[in-house]
Structure 1
């Protein structure tokens, strides 16, 4: 199993950004995300977990909400552990 606290580096163009993620960061992001509020939690996740030397450059990228969601998605996908899930079909049983 992978460590749940991780440093993840994403490369965007000629810049690299390193994020330090913990389970608490991800939980806070998911708990703040609602049907009407997705971009702000993603923005907060990115800005609160990026290493200080990348904040200024990252902030300028996050002016576009689509870019914000794309970066957050890539970060969460990399943070997620690789697990195999198989959904088995349930057999239909009739009860009288």
Structure 2
């Protein structure tokens, strides 16, 4: 079950950054994604969820779009519930 709000701490180099994510933050990120717009939603997710007093230290790291996407991906992966999901293959037996 997904909690309403989760704090996730990511270490970048020798600095720890605390992010406070909610389901609404993640939904806003996914809704903003488009084929031509991937980095900006990640940048927005990171800057709006990082602890306020760490925003200025985080900003220079986000100048690199690959770093932005890597950090956003790490946050989303950690936020994801730990649930095993499997797809059942359709039976090849004919249904009579």
TM-score in same-fold range (> 0.5):
yes
Question: TM-score, normalised on structure 2?
Answer: 0.92
- Structure 1 partner of 2:21: 21
Question: TM-score, normalised on structure 1?
Answer: 0.92
- Structure 1 partner of 2:55: 55
Give yes or no for the alignment of 1:73 onto 2:79: no
CA offset digits 1:20-71 (Å, max 9, x no partner): 1001100000000011100000000000000011101110000000000000
Q: Calculate the aligned-residue CA RMSD, in Å.
A: 1.4
Name stretches of at least 5 consecutive residues in structure 2 with no aligned partner: none
- Structure 1 partner of 2:84: 84
Instruction: After the TM superposition, list the runs of 4 or more consecutive aligned residues in structure 1 that deviate by more than 6 angstroms.
Output: none
Name stretches of at least 5 consecutive residues in structure 1 with no aligned partner: none
